[in-house]
Amino acid sequence: MTTLPDALRETQEDFLALGDNDKLQLLIEFSGELPALPERYADHTELFEKVEECQSPVFIFCEVEDNTVSVFATAPEQAPTTRGFASILVQGLTGLSVTDALNIPDDFPSTLGLNQLISPLRVRGMTGMLWRMKRQIREKAPV
């Protein structure tokens, strides 16, 4: 069964409650909140996976420890949309249990009301990010 964790549900409700301009502003806020990489990864971006679905260079890396997920991402300052997408997912997935993370619906990115505003093609970049994060979590979770 797929269910949306509380943090992502709140993000979804926030987006859906806003008008078009405010939706863009919220995404810009998210892009400003993308956490910097922790020191242990800052010099090891070769561990990161490139999200090919995005036009801008964005790289992701997931950790699973004690059944808890952490997600890291890096994207250029001059790619605010991509950074915003990454930030929503990094903040929404970090701290979840493996089961909760894997239960996030694959179509979550297209349920934020951004398809018309930003175009389905761009939202597909976020879908690619989520798929890749879930695949990494699945690979890294102890069986």
Partner 1 sequence: MSIPADSTSKFNEYAHPETIVSTEWLAQNLNTPGVVVVESDEDVLLYEIGHIPGSVKIDWHTDLNDPVVRDYVQGEAFARLLSSKGISRDTTVIIYGDKSNWWAAYALWVFKLFGHPDVRLLDGGRDKWIAEGRELTSEATVVTPASYPVIDRDDAAIRAFLPDALAHIGKPMIDVRSPEEFSGERTHMPSYPEEGALRGGHIPGAASVPWSRAANEDATFKNRSDLEALYLGEAGLKPGDDIIAYCRIGERSSHTWFVLTYLLGFEGVRNYDGSWTEYGSAVRVPIEKGA
Shortest Cβ distance from residue 75 to partner 1 (Å)? 10
How far is Cα 88 from Cα 30, in angstroms, rounded to an integer? 6
Among 9, 10, 13, 25, binds partner 1 (CB under 8 A): 25
- DSSP structure class, residue 95: T
- Interface with partner 1 includes 28 (CB under 8 A)? yes
* 3-class DSSP state of 18: coil
How far is Cα 75 from Cα 54, in angstroms, rounded to an integer? 10
Number of residues that bind partner 1 (CB under 8 A): 27
Q: Give the dihedral of Cα atoms 120, 123, 128, 130; nearest 10 deg.
A: -140
Stretch that binds partner 1, among 3-11, 52-60, 61-69, 97-105 (CB under 8 A): 52-60
Nearer to partner 1, 95 or 102 (CB): 102
> Is the torsion defined by CA of 92, 60, 108, 82 positive or negative?
positive
| Binding residues for partner 1 (CB under 8 A) | 24-25, 27-28, 31, 52-53, 55-56, 78-82, 84, 116-119, 121-122, 124, 127-128, 131-132, 135
